[in-house]
Chain A
Amino acid sequence: MDGSLVDDAERDLLIATVAQGLASRRGGDGYDVLVELGWHDMLAAEPHTATAVVFDALGRANVRSSCLADVIATALGHEPGVAVMLPAYGTAVAPGVRGAAEGRQVIVAGLALASTVGAPTVLVACTDGQAVLVRTTDLRLEAVSGIDPSLGLRVVSGRAEPVGEPAPAPWSAAVDIARVALGHEITGACRTMLDLACDHARGRMQFGRSIASFQAVRHKLAEVLVAVEAAEAALDAAHHTPSPVTAALAKVLAGRAASAAAVHCQQVLAGIGFTREHELHRFLLRTIALDGLFGSARSLTRELGAGLLADRTVPRVIDL
């Protein structure tokens, strides 16, 4: 899984390998599988391909992992494998505030992935542009049951002593890459929702024919595909033209695809789509939970609008 992955055939092979590896972990954690497949090496060698392929696969398979911590750690100049604090839900604010006094305790408030439990230290990016490691035992980690308990998030708070020296850390770069990674995970989940709804539509008979033949049903599913393809194009753009704006737009369009998928796929699946008997719920609930990490589609849309109104100009964003 390391080395240069340039051509389509290699990428397709990688996609297939990762999907196969994650298949048995639906609803659970697949981090060990990905590490076994060489995730860390690939993240170092081919960060864009690695992030795109792995997060898309996690979304499609409904598998959680610590990969998000790895992409953030890498962006902050650390090795992958370290536990990392995420911002509070619905925001992209750095989760730590460093005290002014000697000793410089860090006030921590945010979220963490399940793997943070049991990690000796956790990396905290602070509002002053520094990142520091703190001892996990100094912090309160509460499991979130929430709308998607299998995501395994923890709400973290507390005051902690720094371990070692703080180092400058580009939080905004971490935010961008986290948004792109989450965008892939959300869009991957949308692909599965769309597949599930299309399969159902083709097989379900009513009024003596397949419901896939009803235009009201077909147009809903077409709507989802358009939204998903737009999100995928925006994710592509976030890789070929990385910037805070392309990253935010990619996360917004992924979130919108998820809203479209949730509404229309659930409607097409109808009764069975409203249950936990059908797999749809896993993906639907996961995308709702992920939408709020690093800023939701709604809040980022407004932020983007505010940015345009402040600058009084509309950027081209991407060029041919």
Chain B
Amino acid sequence: MEVETFRQHLESWLDDHAAELAPAFPGAGTLDQQMTQLAKVKRRLFDAGWMQWGWPERAGGTGGSSLLRAVLGEAVTERDLVQPGYFSMTEVLAPTVVDFASPELAAAFLPRILSGDEMWCQGFSEPDTGSDLSSLSCRATPDRDDWIVSGQKLWTSLAQHSRRCVLLTRTGTPESRHRGITAFFVDMDTPGITVRPFSIISGDDEFAEVYFDGVRIPADRMLGTVDGGWNVAMSLLPYERSSCFWHRTAYLRGRLTALIEQVEPDPHTETVVGEAFVALYALRARSHRTQHRLAAGHELGAETSVDKVLVAAAEQRLFDAARELLPAGTIELAADPEALRWRDSFLYSRAATIYGGTAEIQRNIIAKRLLHLGDDV
């Protein structure tokens, strides 16, 4: 399927089904409302065959270029049908499952996340493991054909809404660092898993602590090989910076449009709006390249750290501009749904320099891997 044809057919399908796809709540809604909306939209898109494009046929997809996934996410985000970060979770986790799970497992589960039947979560970070992912300690021990997992994960986004988790565990000695990590695809309803949601700065219960206490995982749920989890994690991170970021440009464009509807032109506002636009476009131009590299079959790697720095810059500049230019008190005081949406998005934009590798970690990667400056002290 040609990208342009796909876009046109999709747009007209979305036009035809606008009423049934629209959210039933004003503004951004609550987290629960967003989850329901997300599941509804994905289900409709799946039943009409849109969600499957760009995913391999062997895993239940329809095949075709990965560009189609970027275009789909852009279109539903532009129409404000979904919260882009949640919609994009598929792009973060599913490619890794497709690449590293057994063919049967991938074929059994990919359709479930595409259809909105399931959310999945990412169990990487721990209380003592943030930027230094290779220090993780949540342990998996072999027990005949199974593995037994004990430990804790932290900042696990939407764990309480998720049916599966892409989990990183320690299988080597504590000193084995990145050589002793193994990845699993875990059912969240397995006995021994406790999820404790807690609120992020905007007030939504988006984060969770996840406790594993003697959780039994069948060996066929391993992603990759024993002690090969680092490879799984490193292949996931670039996915977190490809199609998702293209979706994000659509979200940021929508917010910039909403902003300029409320701003009177003068030399200062023109400059502030211009700067937000330039930062957004820098991301879009870069991400355009990345989408094409991915579609052409290039393996994405350290160069996607550039995309991550640009997404953070674009997002924070835009919401700083919003805070400056919106009518006084919109973000700080008002309580109508639109104002709440501005407040939530402003607060959420602060995470852009933290999640998926902090701003500092991205610059470390760029210096070492792209500029070849050797190791730091």
8 Å CB contact of A305 from B71, B277, B284: B277
Residue A309 lies at the interface, judged by CB distance under 8 Å to chain B: yes
Contact A219 B284 (CB under 8 A): no
Most buried by B among A198, A223, A301, A314: A314
Stretch at the interface among B22-30, B113-121, B264-272, B326-334: B264-272
Q: A225-B306, A226-B310 are in contact. Are A304 and B278 (CB under 8 A)?
A: yes
Which residues, 325 to 370 on B, are CB-close (under 8 Å) to A? 360, 362-364, 366-368, 370
Taking a contact as CB atoms under 8 Å apart, the answer to whether A226 and B309 are in contact is yes
Assuming the contacts A252-B278, A302-B274, A304-B277, asked whether A312 and B284 have C-beta atoms less than 8 A apart, the reply is: no
Secondary structure of the B contact surface, majority rule:
helix
Of A209, A256, A305, the residue contacting B269 (CB under 8 A) is A305
Say if the beta carbon of B285 comes within 8 Å of chain A: yes
Contact assessment for B374 and A230 in the assembled complex, using a CB-CB cutoff below 8 Å: no
Quick check: A309 and B285 within 8 Å, CB to CB? no
Which chain A residues lie closer than 8 Å to B256 at the CB level? 308, 314
* Contact indicator A225/B366 (Cβ below 8 Å): yes
* Cross-chain contact of A221 among B263, B282, B371 (Cβ < 8 A): B371
The answer to whether A317 touches B371, judged by C-beta atoms less than 8 angstroms apart, is no
Q: Which residues of A, 233-292, contact B by the 8 Å Cβ criterion?
A: 233-234, 236-237, 249, 252-253, 256
Question: A314 contacts which chain B residues (CB < 8 A)?
Answer: 253, 256-257, 260, 277, 280
Shortest CB-to-CB span from B105 to chain A, Å, is 30
Interface size of A by CB at 8 A reads: 46
Which of A194, A202, A305 has a CB less than 8 Å from the CB of B374?
Answer: A202
Q: Which residue of B lies closest to A224 (CB)?
A: B371
B210 to chain A, nearest CB (A): 32
Contacts known (A218-B367, A234-B282, A318-B288); A213 close to B257, Cβ less than 8 A: no
Partner of A309, one of B70, B253, B263, B364: B263
By Cβ-Cβ distance, the 9 closest A-B pairs, closest first, are A305-B274, A218-B367, A305-B273, A222-B366, A233-B285, A305-B270, A301-B274, A230-B282, A222-B363
Measured CB to CB, the residues of A under 8 A from B are: 194, 198, 201-202, 209-210, 212-215, 218-219, 221-223, 225-226, 229-230, 233-234, 236-237, 249, 252-253, 256, 298, 300-306, 308-310, 312-314, 316-320
Binding site for A on B (CB under 8 A): 3, 7, 67, 70-71, 74, 246, 253, 256-257, 260-261, 263-265, 267, 269-275, 277-278, 280-286, 288-289, 291-292, 303, 306, 309-310, 360, 362-364, 366-368, 370-377
